[in-house]
A = this chain, B = another copy of it.
Amino acid sequence: MNTTHITNEDILKMESHARAAFMNSLSGFKSASLIGSIDRAGNTNLAIFSSVIHIGSNPALIGFINRPDSTSRHTLENILDTNCYTINHINEAIYMKAHQTSARYPKEVSEFDATDLTVEFGSRISAPYVKESNIKYGLELAEKLELKINGTMLIIGRVVEVFMPEYCLMPLGGIDVEKAETITISGLDSYHKTSLLSRLTYAKQDTLPEKFI
C-alpha cells in the first residue's frame, strides 16, 4: 500500500470544490438527515444535512452545523422564526429525493413539493416531518453558537418527541437504526447502506470486549 502524505499547504492549494470534497470526506461516515422547518406564514422547507450529531442525553440534545451562506439558510431562518424543526433519517428508498433538496430552490418553493416527499405533522411542534422517513424526531431550539473561527453555526435542539418503528427499539434502550434502513453519507455525494459487524459489551479494564450480537 502506497501511503500519500498531504500537508496543510497542499490542502490550501486544492481547487475549492476538490478541497470541499476532500475535507467533507476526512471525518469519515456521517449521519444522513432531512431537516424539516416552517415559517410563521406556514411555508415548509426541507434540506439535507450530514452534520447532525449527539450532544447529550440528559437533557436530550442533538446538534447540527449550519452554514449561513449555503442552500440551508432557509432552514436556519425558519428555525429562528418558529423555534422548532424536525430531523428525519434518510433511508434507501428516499436518498435520491433527499439529495435533490440541496438544489438552490427559491424560498417560496417547498422542497417537499419539488422532490415529491410527503409532509406529515406530529403533535408537539408546528414543523413538518417526512412521512417516508422511518425514524424522525422533533426539536425545540435550545442554543445557537457561532463558531467564530469560520462563521458557521452550531444549532442545538432539545428533543420533544420521537417517532420510530416499534421493532427498532432494543431491549437496553438503543435504537436499531440499521433495521430502520437508515443510511450513511461520506463526502458530499456518496450514499452507503450498512451491515452490522457486531455489538460489543461495555469495555472494562481487565477483560476484552465480547460480541453479544
**Chain A 89-130 interface mask (CB, 8 Å, partner B; 1/0):** 100100110011111110000000010000000111000000
Query: Which of A36-44, A74-82, A170-178 forms part of the interface with chain B?
Result: A170-178
* Pairwise interchain contact B30-A29, C-beta atoms closer than 8 A: yes
Residues of B within 8 A of A33 (CB): 27-28
Q: Is the CB of A27 within 8 A of B8?
A: no
Residues from chain B with a CB closer than 8 A to the CB of A160 are: 7-8
In the complex, which residues of chain B have a beta carbon less than 8 angstroms from the beta carbon of A18? 172-173
**What is the CA–CA distance of A67 and B104 in the complex, to the nearest angstrom?**
37
Bound: A191/B71 CA distance, A: 32
B191 engages A200 (CB within 8 Å) = yes
Question: How far is A30 from B67 in the complex, measured between Cα atoms in Å?
Answer: 20
User: Cβ of A189: which chain B residues have Cβ within 8 Å of it?
Assistant: 174, 199-202
Contact status A26-B159, CB under 8 Å: yes
A184 interface neighbour in B59, B114, B164, B194, Cβ under 8 Å: B194
Complex contacts, A11 vs chain B, CB 8 Å: 60, 159, 162
Contact of B161 with A3 in the complex, beta carbons under 8 Å: no
B31 touches A103 (CB 8 A): no
Q: Which residues of B contact A23 (CB under 8 A)?
A: 54, 56-57, 60, 62, 159
Q: Which residues of B contact A15 (CB under 8 A)?
A: 173
